[in-house]
Amino acid sequence: MIMVGSEVAAGCEADVHLTTRRAPAISTFMAIFQSIKSWASRIKRDAVTLWFAYRHPGTPWFAKALAAFVVAYALSPIDLIPDFIPVLGYVDDALLLPALIWLNIRLIPAPVLEECRAQADKWMKEQGTKPRSIAGAVIIVGIWIGVGVALWAWFDRQG
């Protein structure tokens, strides 16, 4: 089929209309992607912030106790719930960890938090990555061993 005259113009207008309808959808997707990327970056920085807050003398003991757990878990190379488990594998990364970081950040006094965030920003710029927590990995492995032993003992009693 060969288009001539006004048919070509109508076809071009239709293409332009489709393109302009897709443009807001793409820009909205990109905006959402950027906000998620920014949020993930803040979570990563705040995990390192808690690492510095745990060592800061101005941090209250209850915030240090929670920070010890959160930092050990956040910086551990091993997940409590492995990511290959459908849905549950990402619940800890997407919900539990950010909620614990948010709570812990709220427990730290503002001047201490400001100083620790500056240290975390400096660390992230110099090192380019977050620190690793071997203690966190040991704790996670210990929890898995404890759960395994408890399940074994429970099943042994049942049989």
pLDDT tens digits for 108-122?
Answer: 999 999 999 999 889
Tokens 């990109």 map to which residue? 30
Residue 115 identity: E
Span 5-19, average pLDDT: 49
Q: What is the pLDDT of residue 89?
A: 76
Residue 8 identity: V
Q: What is the pLDDT of residue 61?
A: 94
Span 3-17, average pLDDT: 49
**Least confident among 95-99, 101-105, 147-151:** 95-99
Identify which of 75-84, 123-132, 146-155 has the greatest average pLDDT.
146-155
Q: What is the pLDDT of residue 57?
A: 94
Question: What confidence tier does 103 reach under pLDDT thresholds 50, 70, 90?
Answer: very high
Tokens 């730290």 map to which residue? 108
Higher pLDDT, 36 or 22: 36
Contact (CB, 8 A) for 70 and 101: yes
Contact (CB, 8 A) for 67 and 54: yes
Residue 113 identity: L
Percent of the chain with pLDDT over 70: 77
Higher pLDDT, 72 or 67: 67
Residue (of 157, 146, 145, 70) closest to 107 by Cα position: 70
